[in-house]
Amino acid sequence: MIPTKNPNFFLRFATPDDAGLVVGFMKKLGSYQKMADKIIATEAGIRKLLTEGKGESVFGIYEGEVVAFFYFCQTSSAFTGQSGLYMDGFYVDDAYRSHGFGKIMMAFLSKLAVERGCQRLEWG
C-alpha cells in the first residue's frame, strides 16, 4: 500500500490476480462514457498484459474499499525521441468523486512518469 496525503486513501499497484477487477473498472468506465459495447477486454487478456509488464494498473483504496483505478503503459515516440506513459483508463466511482482522489492519483502517475525518466504523460 502506498500512502497518500489523505490518511484514509491508499494506492496499490495491480497484480495479475487483479485482472478481473481491472476489467470491472473498465466496464464501469465504458458505461460512464456510453461506450460499454466497446469494452471487449477479458480477464485473461488483462492478466496476460499485467503478467508480461505490457500494461500496469493502480487502484485507489478508501477505507479498505477499491474505489478508483487507472490503467497505463510505457510508450515511446520515434518522432520526438521521447518516452512516456499512456493512461488508457481512469475511473473514480460516482460516490467517491469530489473527494480529491482523482487529483491524488494523477499526481502519483505524473511523479511516476518523472521517476521513470519519461518526458510525456498522455491520456487517451
**Domain-wise residue ranges, the chain:** 2-123
Model-wide pTM > 0.85: yes
CA pair distance 95, 36, nearest whole angstrom: 20
Query: Residues in the chain with pLDDT < 70?
Result: none
CA pair distance 98, 112, nearest whole angstrom: 23
Q: What is the enclosing helix (H) or strand (E) of 77? A: strand 65-77
Q: Is 114 helix (H, G, I), strand (E, B) or coil?
A: helix
CA pair distance 44, 95, nearest whole angstrom: 29
Q: What is the enclosing helix (H) or strand (E) of 18? A: none
CATH superfamily of the domain spanning 2-123: Gcn5-related N-acetyltransferase (GNAT) (3.40.630.30)
The three grid cell numbers given for residue 63, joined into one nine-digit string: 477505507
pLDDT for res 124? 75
